[in-house]
Amino acid sequence: MNRVIHPIEQESFRRLRTRLDTSHFAPLTRAVVERVIHSAADLDYAGDLVTDEVALEKAHAALHAGAPVVVDVEMVAAGITRRDTVCRLKDAKSGPGLTRSAHAIRLAYEEVGPGALWVIGCAPTALEELLTLDASPALVIGLPVGFVGAAESKAALRESGLPAVSNVSEKGGSAVAAAALNALLYHPVSQAAKASPSVKEKS
């Protein structure tokens, strides 16, 4: 089913493109960059985000083939409008050396197993915990925000070699993380991919 785009959203993207030329980005990278910028009204994300077009293509295919989507907090889930998500934060408990957010990631992995898309927009410790698991993710959208651990956890994600969307700075958050996932959800699926649903570029 085609998504109906509200005129306000259309005008917002038109204005974004008058202020920033995104035409040089590959298609999925451009979709992610534009939607993240749109969600935050922050043009600096064009140079702050780190993406890989090949990884995005594979993640896009996995997502539209029905791969699970796991989020770290309900605020991220609330921003993902066209897909059910898994969030185990309500069931999680903190303990010695383990934050509640990290425990929630463990619980989610026990539920979904490998091959999921992980969307982390709040807690650096959630991203750090994911990196300790053998999650074999289709994609990690790692955009936690904060002055403690956020930039470091995103650097560790990039160093891990996992397919990822991240950013260099301390900024991020639930809205931008959800926006990155929505960019993949909203991006059209080719007719070839519909017929056969099987499942480095830096910005």
Distance between CA atoms of residues 80 and 84, nearest Å: 8
Distance between CA atoms of residues 40 and 155, nearest Å: 21
Distance between CA atoms of residues 157 and 168, nearest Å: 11
Distance between CA atoms of residues 87 and 120, nearest Å: 11
Annotated catalytic residue within 38, 60, 103, 187: 38
Query: What tokens were used for 84?
Result: 């059910």
Q: Is 38 a catalytic residue?
A: yes
**Sheet holding 69-71: strands in order across?**
49-50, 164-167, 139-142, 117-120, 69-71
Q: Which residues are catalytic?
A: 38
